[in-house]
Amino acid sequence: MGIGGCIALIAVGAILTFATDWEAESVNLDLVGVILMAVGLIGIATFTSIAKRRRAVVQRPTVIERDHR
């Protein structure tokens, strides 16, 4: 799941939590919205930490050869 999917989860969760007044007997939609927002935030944190690792530049050690004459 990319960054767009995580943002979509956060948006859908916020809509369910704050913008709707639907009621279902067996499902608490406020709780579902909060869970979706939490999963989206965890996804963004995971995505950014993986992206940082991929961008890290590894410096190769420099070997200097000296001529001992």
Instruction: Quick: pLDDT tens for 27-66.
Output: 999 999 999 999 999 999 999 888 777 665 667 787 777 7
pLDDT (tens digit per residue) in 10-20 = 999 999 999 98
Query: In angstroms, rounded to a whole number, what is the distance separating the alpha carbons of residues 33 and 41?
Result: 12
Query: In angstroms, rounded to a whole number, what is the distance separating the alpha carbons of residues 25 and 32?
Result: 13
pLDDT reading at 3 higher than 80: yes
| pLDDT given at position 67 | 75
| Token representation of residue 47 | 């995505």
Query: In angstroms, rounded to a whole number, what is the distance separating the alpha carbons of residues 44 and 47?
Result: 5
| pLDDT given at position 22 | 85
Q: CA-CA-CA-CA torsion for 49, 52, 54, 55, nearest 10 degrees?
A: 170
Q: CB-based contacts of 3: which residues, under 8 Å, 6+ apart? A: 44, 47
